[in-house]
Chains A and B, each alone.
Chain A
């Protein structure tokens, strides 16, 4: 199956600073790259996604960049706030040929220090 590596596994940042999480994948046929946020005891929730026809997407304080040639993509959170503390998962999918499954990274635990 698809191999997705996510780094770092834990990240502690000062409130107001930026956080960056990186993921690499192995399947060059992957064309959909979502990021999910999971707060303690809650369900994973989609926060942003990007498809292979764009290189960058931004939504307020969060952005995702994609480098298909190098097969890596990153999540950027600016001006971090305490409510950004959560586990973040990257995922990849082919979204074609009846293969819509998401392969997830291992997750990054983000702690925002007040």
Chain B
């Protein structure tokens, strides 16, 4: 059974640019969540999508957005990049159902903003 796949694994951008990250969940999982991991702030929740709808959102500015497609694959976009956006972006997939919502993480996309 394939795990959670994130692309690209590494990328370097400059301030002001925008970036799109992709996440393919485990087959059958309908929920995809995104987290930002930094040494200073730890793991911070960005948003969660379930059946193409954003079900929950963390405390990040509007520059951070996402979407989910009918095949449950998800993308997140960060516009007008800032130096502080440098981080490991992790996505996690799950069933999205109470009592069985165990999150499995992908390997992450490491973004460096210069």
Shortest Cβ distance from residue B85 to the other chain A in the assembled complex, whole angstroms: 19
Please tell me if B16 contacts chain A, counting CB pairs below 8 Å: no
User: Knowing A98-B56, A100-B94, A100-B96 touch, does A43 contact B106 (C-beta < 8 A)?
Assistant: yes
Interface size class of A (residues with CB under 8 A): 20 to 34
Count how many pairs of residues, one from A and one from B, have CB atoms less than 8 Å apart in the complex: 61
B70 at the A interface (CB under 8 A):
no
Interface size, chain B (Cβ < 8 Å): 26
Assess the A44–B33 pair: CB atoms within 8 A: no
Known: A1-B58, A1-B59. A49 touches B102 (CB 8 A): yes
The answer to whether B64 has its CB under 8 Å from any CB of chain A is no
Q: Which residues of B contact A (CB under 8 A)?
A: 31, 33, 35, 42-45, 48, 50, 55-56, 58-59, 90, 94, 96, 98-99, 101-108
Chain A residues near B (Cβ < 8 Å): 1, 32, 34, 36, 42-46, 49, 51, 89, 91, 93, 95-96, 98-107
